[in-house]
């Protein structure tokens, strides 16, 4: 038995994070037993585990998903802990020793806020000599600098993080980081801190103009170097008047436009620092995960474009910086620009709007590597000017993102679907840079709440998201407090005060998703006030006259069904008021469930009632007496099925099917409908249609983007036309993760792994694979909060499937074998059938396999019963029908019906002979 992935507050060995509680979690593998009998957590004051501070004793209730243990925490102290697990087979093992270390907590800062002349554009280095008097046993640097900072000791970078102290609403709070500098300060040297502009003091967001920051205009630094000597004494060096300022050669930086450095500048005299007021927001321990460099890329191709530009293709779009090796004569100006796509073979960046996204460097003639400090780029292509003899190895792309571990791995028998998975993962990596952003390249890169909300379940399958979103949700609540509960459209808001349905509902949906994925109620405790404030805000706006729908709402943003159409259209045609009430009711229902879990009975009743009332209002207002949804769009009908809004489910299904059929089985959905679409279709028996939408290679569709060269997921379904031209420059990013939310369906339906809501954290799951012949196979590994699941299926023949499943220690699965005959279950040799009820195999921890003949043949056959629109969208079917019936033979008004229906029901163009011949031709061998 091995214990792994031990965390406190969902972090591994955290240094200097906010610790308002101590929740311990772990996972177990390689055990002989099936589940945990009991567990014991011990917290120590020392590494040798001699000074015991807390011992829970063996507790049969201790859940591996999170045990809250009260530990009285002192500032700047490292605590050690371990967990011992006993299994039902009598095994016992103890984890490796883990630790967590507090920051300064309530302790006063010795360091003072310092600044320098902020009019001077040359970015400052604040410096201080450090002369340790004795042998240092341990040293920490506590530091924050605005807008951004990078710290060095004797010129060597301290830590590996970029863009510290990260992005917050700096009016509310800001973070400081803690670095272990014990090794570095063993010798005397200089502590220096370089400041940049970043989110705080350069243009960013909608409210900032030109190059003025929204939050502030002055450089500000606070730091405290604490050196503990071996003899037990301590020296503290805080920022104060004794520090000096030296000017760097960085003359410009911001997040959108890039950075400029001139190494030919003269050295300026050092300046004295000035003491300055603390910034408005409260200085607190960090919540942000470190943003570090992950993958590095060499250019996959060096291109000389028709315009004679030198352009590098990195082969993959990502967010980050780069390293460029330079050997140019003094005074040479090097100009770098980044873009996402080429246009007519040439460099292109107009869709970045006003973001210059460039790097300018003036060489001092010294050979060196340059790496930008205070900016980042969302890019695949790089245009380089001013380099005389460029070699491929001179440029390395460096992907920057928050330290989130990948937990989900998915592979199918379909290359393009695998590419889609990779594209979504890159969309995630590019937009998980401290804040869940909409896009990483143009003049936005903001924490749009709607985008974050629709992608949060997908992200939580693909990566470990708890701590990342916890920081975002904390930010959200800080913003709400200043806005009377309203959730601004972007968080951190940077001055944005508008809100909208679906977007603001992130306040309820993301915490709920985190609870479902990780099974730790702490997130609901932490966010309860925020969730409630949001629902109360909507309630108050709505009043007694249903005024919520009178407000502007993005609704089914970027859907394709708005009759006005056009490449710049942003609104869909699903009534935004309808969507607003469905989400109001849904958020109130989530809030009621959270209240229930937290034992807030009054609230539970109150918000359950609100939810019921709002759902009742939706049903009354937007449905006919017979249950027909009056908003006849794909998205409205998907919402109808998801939330059970119609009294006639069959009618709704029929309406939805017809809408798809009428549209050649193609989607028209935007930000609301798309993330739900395939999940709802599968839930309601339209798995084949869900697959069809996934696998469709024509526009609009996921695979269509890939066939046009996408390496991430586009913002719009029609971002690029078939000639490879960007459809418009108003709002068009090639790296928006929202539609990447299809990955949630891949896990939940294609592989079939779903957690049961009543057993959050994946302690108990259902596995219901949905098979598809075009896909052939699907396999997933998901290292859930409860342990690592594996699930795979493979159709070796159109009617023969092999299924394998691995259930982790402490977990249970209910496996449904699709299209299995009842005789199969009589095979009592196979442990998979040890416990079967009503065709469901109840599985405990272990590995299982089975292969069987399915009662359904998965080869898709087009027939005279296939709707004409669909039949004629299949090339092979068209070929088979050649000489029998043509698309144009069928009047346009009949094309959503099948050939057989048209013949049976309408006086038409089709003869009996045609039907007989068509039936025969379509039944001929050959896949279609
Ligand atoms: C962003 C979106 C966002 C939207 C608001 C856009 O500019 O990029 O993804 O959700 O505005 O509707």
pLDDT band at residue 926 under the 50/70/90 scheme: low
Report the chain's mean pLDDT, rounded to a whole number.
Answer: 96
426 C-alpha to ligand 1 centroid (Å) = 19
416-442 burial code (b ≥16 CB/10 A, e <16): ebebbbebbbbbbbbbbbbbbbbbbbb
Give the DSSP H/E element, type plus range, for residue 650.
helix 649-662
Q: What is the arithmetic mean of pLDDT over 565-583?
A: 94
- Residue 719: is its pLDDT beyond 50? yes
Collapse the DSSP code of 565 into the 3-class scheme (helix H, G, I; strand E, B; otherwise coil) and give the result: coil
| Nearest protein Cα to ligand 1, atom 8 | 438
Q: What is the pLDDT of residues 11-47, one digit of tens each?
A: 999 999 999 999 999 999 999 999 999 999 999 999 9
- Residue 925: is its pLDDT beyond 90? no
> Candidates 435, 450, 501, 736: which one to mutate for ligand 1, based on the most atoms within 8 Å of Cβ?
450
Structure tokens of 561?
């069904």
- Is any atom of ligand 1 closer than 6 Å to the C-beta of 557? yes
CA distances from 23 to 58, 442, 534, 902 (A): 17, 39, 27, 64
468 C-alpha to ligand 1 centroid (Å) = 21
Q: What is the pLDDT of residue 927?
A: 52
Cβ neighbours of residue 113 under 8 Å, at least 6 residues apart? 220, 221, 222, 239, 275, 276, 277, 278, 279
In angstroms, the CA 909 to CA 918 distance is 14
pLDDT band at residue 193 under the 50/70/90 scheme: very high
Q: Which atom of ligand 1 is nearest to the CA of 671?
A: 10
Q: What is the pLDDT of residue 209?
A: 67
Q: Which atom of ligand 1 is nearest to the CA of 439?
A: 8
Q: What is the pLDDT of residues 667-704, one digit of tens each?
A: 999 999 999 999 999 999 999 999 999 999 999 999 99
* Alpha carbons within 13 A on the beta-carbon side of 758: 2
Task: Give strand pairing partners of 381.
Answer: 313, 339
Q: What is the arithmetic mean of pLDDT over 308-324?
A: 98
- Is any atom of ligand 1 closer than 6 Å to the C-beta of 561? no
Short-list 758, 741, 759, CA closest to 694: 741
518 C-alpha to ligand 1 centroid (Å) = 28
In angstroms, the CA 508 to CA 539 distance is 14
- Is any atom of ligand 1 closer than 6 Å to the C-beta of 374? no
pLDDT band at residue 722 under the 50/70/90 scheme: confident
| Nearest protein Cα to ligand 1, atom 11 | 448
Q: What is the pLDDT of residue 928?
A: 43
Q: What is the pLDDT of residue 873?
A: 82
Q: What is the arithmetic mean of pLDDT over 847-867?
A: 92
Q: Which atom of ligand 1 is nearest to the CA of 489?
A: 5
In angstroms, the CA 532 to CA 600 distance is 12
Cα dihedral 892, 568, 659, 452, rounded to 10, equals 160
Percent of the chain with pLDDT over 70: 99
- Residue 763: is its pLDDT beyond 60? yes
In angstroms, the CA 6 to CA 4 distance is 6
569 C-alpha to ligand 1 centroid (Å) = 13
Collapse the DSSP code of 609 into the 3-class scheme (helix H, G, I; strand E, B; otherwise coil) and give the result: helix
In angstroms, the CA 580 to CA 351 distance is 31
731 C-alpha to ligand 1 centroid (Å) = 8
- Residue 208: is its pLDDT beyond 80? no
Give the DSSP H/E element, type plus range, for residue 622.
helix 601-622
- Is any atom of ligand 1 closer than 6 Å to the C-beta of 554? yes
Least confident window among 49-53, 561-565, 588-592 = 561-565
Collapse the DSSP code of 438 into the 3-class scheme (helix H, G, I; strand E, B; otherwise coil) and give the result: coil
What's the pTM? 0.96
In angstroms, the CA 508 to CA 528 distance is 9
Question: Any alpha helices (H) in 483-521, and if so which ranges?
Answer: 506-518
Concatenating the DSSP letter of every residue in 417-433 gives HHHHHHHHHHHHHHHEE
In angstroms, the CA 506 to CA 452 distance is 7
Concatenating the DSSP letter of every residue in 272-297 gives E-EE-PPPSSEEEEB-SPPEEEEEEE
Q: Which atom of ligand 1 is nearest to the CA of 451?
A: 10
In angstroms, the CA 76 to CA 79 distance is 10
Give the DSSP H/E element, type plus range, for residue 561.
none
Angle, helices 634-642 vs 673-683, to 10°: value is: 60
> Candidates 444, 453, 568: which one to mutate for ligand 1, based on the most atoms within 8 Å of Cβ?
444
- Is any atom of ligand 1 closer than 6 Å to the C-beta of 438? yes
In angstroms, the CA 914 to CA 893 distance is 19
- Is any atom of ligand 1 closer than 6 Å to the C-beta of 71? no
Q: What is the arithmetic mean of pLDDT over 706-728?
A: 94
Q: What is the pLDDT of residues 143-185, one digit of tens each?
A: 999 999 999 999 999 999 999 999 999 999 999 999 999 999 9
In angstroms, the CA 712 to CA 428 distance is 9
> Candidates 451, 572, 672, 719: which one to mutate for ligand 1, based on the most atoms within 8 Å of Cβ?
451
Q: What is the pLDDT of residue 757?
A: 78
209 C-alpha to ligand 1 centroid (Å) = 19
Q: What is the pLDDT of residues 464-476, one digit of tens each?
A: 999 999 999 999 9
Short-list 659, 603, 614, CA closest to 636: 659
pLDDT band at residue 620 under the 50/70/90 scheme: very high
Residue 228: other Cβ atoms inside 10 A: 17
Angle, helices 687-695 vs 673-683, to 10°: value is: 140
- Is any atom of ligand 1 closer than 6 Å to the C-beta of 358? no
- Is any atom of ligand 1 closer than 6 Å to the C-beta of 444? yes
In angstroms, the CA 803 to CA 751 distance is 10
- Is any atom of ligand 1 closer than 6 Å to the C-beta of 448? yes
Q: What is the pLDDT of residues 89-114, one digit of tens each?
A: 999 999 999 999 999 999 999 999 99
- Residue 500: is its pLDDT beyond 70? yes
575 C-alpha to ligand 1 centroid (Å) = 19
Q: Which atom of ligand 1 is nearest to the CA of 448?
A: 10
Q: What is the pLDDT of residue 150?
A: 98
Short-list 63, 57, 40, CA closest to 521: 63
| Nearest protein Cα to ligand 1, atom 12 | 554
| Nearest protein Cα to ligand 1, atom 1 | 438
In angstroms, the CA 665 to CA 684 distance is 16
Q: What is the pLDDT of residues 807-825, one digit of tens each?
A: 999 999 999 999 999 999 9
| Nearest protein Cα to ligand 1, atom 2 | 438
Concatenating the DSSP letter of every residue in 71-124 gives -PPPTT-EEEEEEEEEETTS-EEEPPPEEEE---TTPPPSS--EE--SS--SPE
Length in residues, the chain = 928
């Amino acid at each position: 038995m091995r214990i792994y992935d031990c965390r406190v507050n969902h972090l591994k060995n955290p240094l200097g994070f906010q610790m308002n509680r101590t929740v311990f979690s772990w996972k177990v593998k390689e055990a002989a037993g099936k589940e945990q009998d009991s567990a014991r957590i011990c917290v120590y004051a020392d590494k040798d585990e001699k000074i015991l501070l807390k011992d829970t004793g063996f507790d049969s209730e201790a859940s591996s998903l999170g045990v809250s243990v009260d530990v009285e925490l002192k500032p700047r102290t490292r605590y050690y802990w371990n967990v011992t697990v006993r299994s039902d087979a009598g095994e016992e093992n103890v984890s490796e020793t883990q630790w967590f270390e507090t920051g300064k907590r309530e302790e006063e800062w010795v360091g003072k806020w310092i600044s320098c002349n902020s009019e001077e554009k040359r970015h400052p280095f604040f410096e201080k000599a450090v002369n340790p008097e004795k042998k240092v046993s341990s040293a920490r640097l506590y530091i924050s600098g605005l807008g951004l900072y990078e710290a060095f000791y004797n010129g060597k970078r301290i830590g590996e993080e970029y863009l510290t102290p990260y992005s917050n609403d700096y009016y509310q709070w800001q973070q400081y980081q803690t670095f272990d500098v014990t090794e570095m300060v063993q010798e005397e040297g200089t502590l220096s801190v370089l400041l940049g502009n970043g989110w705080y003091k350069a243009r960013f967001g909608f409210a900032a103009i030109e190059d003025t920051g929204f939050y502030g205009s002055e450089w500000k630094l606070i730091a405290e170097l604490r050196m503990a000597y071996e003899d037990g004494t301590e020296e503290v060096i805080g920022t104060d008047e004794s520090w000096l300022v030296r000017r760097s050669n960085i003359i410009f930086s911001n997040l959108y436009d890039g950075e400029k450095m001139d190494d030919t500048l003269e050295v300026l005299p050092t300046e004295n620092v000035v003491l300055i007021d603390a910034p408005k927001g409260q200085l607190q321990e960090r919540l942000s995960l470190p943003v570090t460099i992950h993958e590095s890329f060499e250019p996959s191709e060096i291109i000389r474009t028709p315009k004679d530009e030198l352009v590098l293709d990195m082969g993959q779009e990502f967010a980050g910086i780069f390293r460029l090796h330079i050997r140019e004569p003094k005074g040479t100006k090097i100009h770098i620009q980044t873009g996402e796509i080429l246009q007519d073979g040439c460099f292109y960046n107009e869709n970045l709007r006003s973001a210059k996204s460039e790097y300018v460097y003036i060489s001092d003639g010294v050979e060196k590597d340059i790496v930008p400090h205070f900016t980042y780029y969302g890019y695949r292509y790089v245009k380089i000017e001013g380099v005389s003899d460029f070699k491929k190895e001179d440029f390395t792309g460096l992907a920057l993102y928050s330290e989130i571990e990948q937990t989900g791995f998915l592979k199918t028998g379909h290359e393009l679907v695998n590419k889609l998975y990779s594209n979504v993962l890159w969309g995630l990596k590019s937009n998980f840079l401290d804040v869940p952003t909409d896009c990483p390249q143009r003049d936005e890169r903001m924490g749009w709440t709607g985008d974050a909300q629709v992608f949060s379940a997908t992200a939580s399958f693909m990566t470990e998201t708890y701590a990342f979103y916890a920081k975002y949700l904390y930010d959200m609540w800080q913003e709400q407090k200043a806005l009377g509960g309203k959730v601004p459209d972007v968080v951190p808001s940077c001055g944005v005060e508008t809100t909208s349905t679906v977007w603001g509902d992130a306040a309820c949906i993301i915490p709920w998703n985190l609870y479902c994925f990780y099974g730790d109620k702490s997130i609901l405790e932490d966010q309860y006030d925020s969730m409630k404030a949001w629902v109360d805000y909507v309630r108050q706006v709505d009043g007694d006259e249903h005024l919520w729908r009178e407000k502007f709402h993005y609704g089914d943003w970027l859907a394709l069904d708005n009759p006005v159409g056009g490449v710049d259209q942003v609104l869909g045609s699903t009534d935004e008021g309808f969507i607003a009430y469905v989400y109001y009711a849904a958020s109130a229902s989530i809030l009621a469930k959270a209240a229930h879990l937290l034992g807030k009975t009054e609230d539970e009743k109150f918000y359950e009632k609100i939810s019921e009332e709002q759902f009742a209002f939706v049903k009354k207002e937007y449905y006919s007496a017979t249950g027909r949804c009056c908003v006849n769009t794909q998205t409205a009908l998907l919402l109808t099925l998801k939330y059970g809004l119609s009294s006639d489910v069959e009618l709704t299904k029929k309406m939805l099917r017809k809408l798809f059929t009428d549209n050649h089985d193609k989607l028209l959905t935007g930000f609301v409908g798309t993330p739900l679409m395939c999940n709802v279709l599968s839930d309601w028996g339209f798995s084949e249609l869900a697959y069809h939408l996934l696998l469709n290679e024509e526009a609009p569709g996921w695979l269509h983007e890939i066939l046009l060269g996408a390496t991430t997921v586009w913002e719009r379904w029609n971002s690029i036309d078939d000639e490879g031209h960007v459809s418009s420059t108003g709002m068009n990013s090639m790296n928006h993760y929202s539609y990447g939310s299809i990955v949630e369906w891949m896990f939940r339906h294609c592989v079939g792994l779903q957690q049961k809501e009543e057993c959050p954290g994946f302690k108990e799951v259902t596995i219901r694979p949905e098979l598809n012949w075009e896909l052939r196979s699907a396999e997933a590994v998901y290292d859930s909060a409860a342990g690592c699941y594996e699930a795979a299926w493979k159709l070796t023949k159109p009617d023969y499937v092999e299924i394998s499943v691995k259930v982790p220690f402490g977990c249970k699965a209910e496996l449904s074998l699709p299209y299995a005959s009842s005789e199969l279950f009589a095979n009592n040799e196979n442990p998979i059938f040890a416990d079967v009820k009503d065709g469901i195999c109840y599985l405990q921890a272990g590995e299982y396999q089975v292969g069987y003949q399915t009662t359904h043949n998965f080869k898709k056959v087009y027939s005279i019963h296939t709707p004409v629109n669909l039949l004629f969208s299949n090339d092979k079917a068209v070929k088979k029908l050649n000489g029998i019936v043509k698309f144009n033979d069928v009047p346009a008004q009949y094309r959503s019906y099948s050939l057989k229906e048209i013949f049976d029901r309408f006086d038409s163009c089709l003869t009996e002979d045609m039907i007989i011949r068509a039936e025969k031709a379509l039944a001929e061998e050959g896949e279609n």
